[in-house]
Amino acid sequence: MTLITIEQVNELTRERLPFTKPYAFNVLQLKHGEAKVAMPANEEILRPGGTIAGPAMMALADYAIYVAVMSAIGPVEMAVTTNLNVNFLHRPPPGELVAWAKLLKLGKRLAIASVDITARNEDSLVAHATGTYSIPPTREIQSNG
């Protein structure tokens, strides 16, 4: 069971994460410790040559981890990225990308995740990421939640 719904993620994203607007993230699926997120291609995230820009793929991976963390701990918006490592494997086509984030470890203060990014309806990876999130201590969760 997830501790946040897709609707709650979308509301939090709209209201508290305005920097995500150009990416138009769409949460497709949530499981406890897992999130599937899509990012449509648009002119704002394309680089010369018509491919998705690397920083946009990094943002997709980071956001997918954030959502996976919240699926396991609830809507703790102050959880933050402490590390993100991305390997770009293949040039993606100029279309929607899908990220599947899965928590590898969830501790009291840190969450570690893996993310696979593919083009929509394709199996081959265009990027793979690992990331670590810092989870605020319980007293901060209670005062902000």
Cα distance between residue 50 and residue 43, in whole Å: 9
CA atoms within 13 A on the CB side of 44: 8
Give the E-state strand segments of the chain in sequence order: 26-31, 34-39, 46-47, 51-52, 80-88, 97-106, 110-119, 125-134
Side chain identity at residue 49, one-letter code: G
- pLDDT tens track for 29-43: 999 999 999 999 888
Angle at 121 between CA 70 and CA 85, to 5 degrees: 45
pLDDT-above-70 percentage for the chain: 94
Give me the pLDDT at residue 122, please.
84
Question: What kind of fold does domain 6-144 have according to CATH?
Answer: Thiol Ester Dehydrase; Chain A (3.10.129)
Residue 141 has pLDDT above 70, yes or no: no
- Whether the pTM exceeds 0.85: the reply is yes
